[in-house]
Structures are given as C-alpha cells and as structure tokens.
Amino acid sequence: MSAKIIDGKAIAEEIRKEVKELTDNLKSSRGITPGLAFILVGNNPASELYVSSKAKACAEMGFYSITEKMPENTTESELLDRIKMFNNDSKIHGILVQLPLPKHINEIAVIECISPAKDVDGFTPVNVGRLVIGEKSFIPCTPGGIQVLIEKSGIDINGKHVVVIGRSNIVGKPVANLLLQKRKNANAIVTVAHTAARDISYFTRQADIIIAAMGKPEAITGEMLRPGVVVIDVGTNRILDPSKKSGYRLVGDVHFDSAKEVASAITPVPGGVGPMTIAMLMKNTYLAAAGEIY
C-alpha cells in the first residue's frame, strides 16, 4: 500500500482564491480593504524571508500591508508603543509580530499587547481562551490549516483517535483543543504526546490520525505506525545533504519514505502543511476586516 499524498499547495491555493473573491466583494460592497501590519525586530534572515513571503501573499490578495522593521536594540517599551499605534490604526485589521524576538524583549508581554480583535495569529490569551471553551475566535494559522487539510482531503475526524505529538503554544496545544471541540470537522478523541514519553510508538500505534509537531527530523518511522493511519507532518527541519546545491534538504518529523508505505494518507515536506499557514493568515485577516470574529 502506498499512501495518498495530501497536496497542501493545491488546497492552500483554493483557500487563497476564496479569500481573494471575498476581499474583492468586501472592497466593492463596503469599501473596506483588509490591512495587515508586520513588525520585524532585528536582522534574522529566516524571519525576514517569512515576512517577505507573507507580504507577497497580501499583495496577491489585494490587501494593504506594511512592514515595520525595527533594530535589534529596540526596547520592549518601544515595541509595545508601536503595537499600540497599530491597535489604534483603522487601516490595520491584523497585527503580526514576527517571532522569535531578541532575548531582552518579553514575548508574552508583546503578545498580550496586541488587540484580540487584531490578533490574526490567534496567540493572545483572549483568543486562546475562547478557542479552549469553544467560542468564536481567531484560530492559530497552522492548526487551522491542519483542520482544513484533513477536511478537504475527505477524511472524517468525528470519533477518531488523533494523536498530537508536540505541546507548543503555536501548534500542539491549539490543534488538540481545536479537534476535540464538539462540532463539524472535529469531535475527535485527542491524545497529546511529546518527547518526554518513554516510548512514543506506544501512542503512535494507537492513532487513526497523527499530527507530528515535535521538531525532530524523521523521528517517526513507518514501523511506529498503525496501517491505514493518516499522517499530518508539521515539522520543517534542515538536514545536511551534499547532493543538493544548498548543502541541505528539508524533511519533516516523519520519515516520509517508510511512513507512506503504511499510511493511508500523508502530507509531504515541503508542500504539505507549510503553504496552509500563510493561506489561513490571509483568511484570518479577511475575517478581521469583515468583523466576523469580533
């Protein structure tokens, strides 16, 4: 058996097309252009690349966007003042502070400063709390993208055993909370496992659906999976590969070649979950501009 490959690029393109149509209608019917502010502190090349790709997506959607670059020595107070400025800017509907931040800045204080109504990342305590209790909220982009990937691949989540491997605030915890909600495209039995487990395969062999977000390259192999499992691989890890011009290649947290011989469906890396994250950011920004969350 060889698994169905879940094409995240194609599904993300569907979402982006839908958002573009909704945005065009929002502009023509209500005169509102979704606006997204990116704040980048320091000179992290990876962060600059991420922000650039998100700004490009904004342009494709017809959004207004602004990228605020601040030096490495920016104080926490200066950063909070800039966030407050965007909180009060009517042209801006979403605020994204690119992480990680320099060590002298308190990440929690920064996230808490963002208005929940403009928190298109879904990271503020208000939106996290609303997600947990099942109220309408901004859903963090990667977990939201995972749910849409599963749904659009025709995979039924209801009553299935989902094993989430990882407990980060960005993926593990929110996706677990999202999929156990008593609603359509959720209602799963969710187990959260992580690297502290003595034998992670004890959990993976019980799963109908595995969401791997542990940040360890190719840690989950085919022999650790139950036949017919659905594998959603969130990991993006660089490993050395002299055969590549760059000297490295990207792999997930799952060993793709062995897992695809056991799974019924699997996301590749790259081209699986990654494209969905930006697509869902665009969707959240549209929802903020349209006033559909707050």
**What is the rounded distance in angstroms from the CA atom of residue 195 to the CA atom of residue 291?**
40
Catalytic residue among 9, 17, 20, 54: 54
CB 252 within 8 A of CB 218: yes
Closest by CA position to 37, among listed 2, 66, 17, 69: 66
Catalytic residue among 98, 118, 147, 283: 98
| AA identity, residue 154 | G
CB 162 within 8 A of CB 142: no
Angle among Cα 84, 63, 102 to the nearest 5 degrees reads 40
In 72-208, where do the E strands start and end?
94-97, 161-165, 189-193
Catalytic residue among 118, 119, 121, 208: 121
**What is the rounded distance in angstroms from the CA atom of residue 26 to the CA atom of residue 203?**
46
CB 140 within 8 A of CB 123: yes
Sign, CA torsion 25/26/30/35: negative
Strands 248-251 and 237-240: antiparallel
First-to-last alpha carbon distance for the chain, in angstroms, is 47
CA-to-CA dists, residue 274 to 122, 145, 278, angstroms: 17, 9, 8
Q: Is 54 considered catalytic here?
A: yes
Q: Which stretch of DSSP H or E encloses residue 233?
A: strand 230-233
Q: Is 24 considered catalytic here?
A: no
**What is the rounded distance in angstroms from the CA atom of residue 253 to the CA atom of residue 217?**
5
Q: Is 181 considered catalytic here?
A: no
Task: Give the other-Cβ count within 10 Å of 134's Cβ.
Answer: 14
| AA identity, residue 66 | I
Catalytic residues: 54, 98, 121
